[in-house]
């Protein structure tokens, strides 16, 4: 995989802080949340943090494969749909949780399943932003977010070294 021009590496500590910040925003909503619809795999970690912070026990997964080889978004494939009781009442009172909305294609599929649910992501890009109700950080569309579960510890060249090559 070639590295993107704009990279946004996120540490475990930063991701945990951002996910807790998302939980704080969701806690201030006037809605009594009844459960979480977690989009796998990226939504698993923030869903666990949000479930703990909001004391939610009802969690289901919707499994959609979209990224292939971590570089491009391929054809979307729904591997597992949501079940009752989260789908009851079109998902009213349900949180949809994901790590990121990028193009909005995955978000659109899940929104169609439970149209009255509240969509929350830790990070949002402009193309998917309109489908998200609550998020913490917006990044540009051409930025690739490196999540902590995708990273190892290696030396990173200073930005100034990269700019000298241009």
Known binding residues for guanine: 102, 145
- Residue list for the binding site for GMP: 102-106, 144-145
The residue annotated as part of the active site, out of 13, 60, 90, 98, is 98
- Residue list for the binding site: 41-42, 98-106, 144-145
Q: Which residue has the tokens 């294609």?
A: 105
Would residue 98 show up in a list of annotated catalytic residues for this protein? yes
Q: Which two tokens stand for residue 74?
A: 């391929």
Would residue 99 show up in a list of annotated catalytic residues for this protein? yes
The residue annotated as part of the active site, out of 13, 60, 102, 142, is 102
Q: Which two tokens stand for residue 64?
A: 């959609």
- Residue list for the binding site for xanthine: 102, 145
Say whether 126 sits in a helix, a strand or coil. helix
Contacts of 103-107 with C-beta under 8 Å, sequence gap 24+, read 103/73, 103/127, 103/128, 104/128, 104/129, 104/130, 104/131, 105/66, 105/73, 105/76, 106/39, 106/64, 106/66, 106/76, 107/131, 107/132
Q: Which two tokens stand for residue 14?
A: 């930063």
Would residue 18 show up in a list of annotated catalytic residues for this protein? no
The residue annotated as part of the active site, out of 13, 99, 133, 142, is 99
CA distance 104 to 7: 20
Active-site residues, by number, are 98-99, 102
């Amino acid at each position: 995989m070639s590295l993107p021009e704009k990279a946004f590496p996120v540490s475990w500590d930063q991701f945990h802080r951002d996910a807790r910040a998302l939980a704080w925003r969701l806690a201030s909503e006037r809605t009594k949340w009844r459960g979480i619809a977690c989009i796998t795999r990226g939504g698993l970690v923030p869903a666990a943090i949000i479930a703990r912070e909001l004391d939610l026990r009802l969690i289901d997964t919707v499994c959609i494969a979209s990224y292939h080889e971590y570089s491009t978004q391929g054809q979307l494939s729904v591997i597992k749909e949501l079940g009752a009781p989260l789908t009851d009442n079109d998902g009213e009172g349900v949180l949809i949780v994901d790590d990121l909305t990028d193009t909005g294609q995955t978000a659109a599929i899940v929104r169609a399943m439970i149209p009255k649910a509240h969509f929350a992501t830790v990070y949002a890009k402009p193309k998917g932003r309109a489908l998200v109700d609550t998020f913490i950080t917006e990044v540009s569309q051409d930025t690739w977010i490196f999540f902590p579960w995708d990273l190892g510890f290696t030396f990173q060249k200073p930005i100034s070294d990269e700019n000298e090559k241009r």
